[in-house]
Amino acid sequence: MTVNLFAYDAKQCDPKKCTSRKLARFGLLRLLHSTRIIPLGSILLTPEGEKALSVEDKPRAERRGIVVLDVSWKAAVFPKIPGIHERALPYLLAANPVNYGKPFKLSSVEALAAALYILGEVNQAETVLGKFSWGEQFLKLNREPLEEYAKARTSREVVKAQEEFI
């Protein structure tokens, strides 16, 4: 794996449906049980990020990794964590069975795969999605926007590209 993946597990979701836990079982990410052990300098994917993820974040992702907060959308509270670089993902549609077709309501694996794809790590994105029967559908549903976001060089360009799909 090119980029280390982490998930803070808030233990709010159904363990049988938890995409982070499944990825951890396959050795594709490391579960974290405290926000205090999130790697400093890593990229935290959060819908509350003020800057969109872009290729300019790739060196940091390769050095420090990407983190998702595995929390329930029903009880979503995204804590502020000092020393972490928050990034938002642009407009994408969920393909997971719980939120299929809903914009921005991605599962943890969808968020990680989208980030990897945008950063040019398409093979790693396909690997993590490959563990889910609906994983390939996420890429089919979002192929065009993901390609455009991956071409964007900066956060500002990602936001501008996003306007085509909203």
Does pTM top 0.85 for this prediction?
yes
Q: How far apart are CA 118 and CA 9, in angstroms?
A: 24
For residues 92 and 147, the answer to whether their CB atoms sit within 8 Å is no
φ/ψ (deg, to 5) at 136:
-65, -35
At 43-87, the pLDDT tens digits run: 999 888 899 999 999 999 999 999 998 876 555 566 677 778 999
What pLDDT shows up at residue 79? 64
Burial of 49 (0-12, 13-18, 19+ CB in 10 A): middle
pLDDT of residue 81: 74
Under DSSP, the state recorded for 36 is G
Instruction: Report how many domains make up the chain.
Output: 1
Token pair of 108 as six digits: 């943890």
Interatomic CA distance for residues 96 and 110, integer angstroms: 8
Quote the domain boundaries for residue 132: 5-162
Q: What is the DSSP letter of 109?
A: H
Positions of the chain with pLDDT lower than 50, given as ranges: none
The confidence score (pLDDT) of residue 78 equals: 61
Q: What is the pLDDT of residue 18?
A: 86
Q: Show the DSSP H helices in the chain as ranges.
A: 19-25, 58-64, 108-118, 122-129, 135-151, 155-162
